[in-house]
Structure 1
């Protein structure tokens, strides 16, 4: 693939210095072959979702241009997670993590592959994703759900704090 695709990546962490882990992940993403970070949101402190008995998360979103296909992009994200010390085999679903990177949107594609669903299946209902996504791409359309700004208005976000 030669023509870059606009994609959005969710970043999150809540173990150790989570803010530093997310900042490093922005840099590592930009260093990956076939990925260029175009825009990045602020960092946000957000309460845990799913399993709530754990530390708050630091969340953010990166807009990227990528020449990687969806599955190679996912592999690049998993490599960045592993470099940060994440072992997905050992982690519980929605549990604490040193780094979590998710493909939120890949162009306007709807993707149903083993291990990869795009748009991210819960994107439209998670304030911790919609708040930073609305910062970088408020008019972006989420296939099957509508504009990010409209989705953002439908979720409670009073417990989310912008850090920088």
Structure 2
């Protein structure tokens, strides 16, 4: 994935004078506790309301079986949001965590795959790579997660996950049996 819409377009930060490129970013949303659809729509609204972020596409909603979760975890609703942004990846991560917190996301100690009211994951931010404990880009498990690949493919069929390959090929190699498109549900950009 390259920076889009054009890596040569620069946005000047009028406060600091810094020049920052516009990057395409892919965010994966998920919820399996509470009012799942309300949480997803709230996340889309909060992302769209973020300064220096422009939502370019929102995927269909999928109901998915939990992956690597406790046995009693309920099904998730999942979607993918494509954005263009001039925000640094670390600032975008801070915003994603703040959105999760606003929807009551709890992070029990030692439970990485616990049920959640809202999950907002950065999958890709331009061509940025990061292996920090707090920020891993591209997302280290996106290439094997049908609940990310399928909605992403729906809105960007020619997408490429950096260091992994075309989303279409990754999706073809992934088990999609627990992934069901919910045409009765739709997320909107306000």
Larger Rg: 2
Counterpart of 1:45 in structure 2 is: 63
Q: Find out whether 1:142 has 2:158 as its counterpart.
A: no
Q: Find out whether 1:133 has 2:152 as its counterpart.
A: yes
Counterpart of 2:40 in structure 1 is: 22
Give TM-score, length-normalised by structure 2: 0.82
Runs of 4+ that moved beyond 4 A: none
Compared with structure 1, are the counterparts of its residues 16 and 66 closer, same or farther at alpha carbon in structure 2 (3 Å cutoff)?
same
Distance in 2, matches of 1:84 and 1:31, equals 15
Shift of 1:89: 5.0
Distance in 2, matches of 1:64 and 1:102, equals 13
Alpha carbons 1:109, 1:143 under 8 Å: kept: no
Distance in 2, matches of 1:138 and 1:145, equals 15
Compared with structure 1, are the counterparts of its residues 122 and 23 closer, same or farther at alpha carbon in structure 2 (3 Å cutoff)?
same
- 1:70-108 Cα shifts (integer Å, max 9, x gaps): 101000111111111113355821110000000001112
Give TM-score, length-normalised by structure 1: 0.94
Structure with bigger helix share is 1
Which residues of structure 1 form unaligned runs of 5+?
none
Q: Find out whether 1:87 has 2:87 as its counterpart.
A: no
Which residues of structure 2 form unaligned runs of 5+?
1-18, 184-190
Say how many residue pairs are matched. 164
Alpha carbons 1:108, 1:142 under 8 Å: kept: no
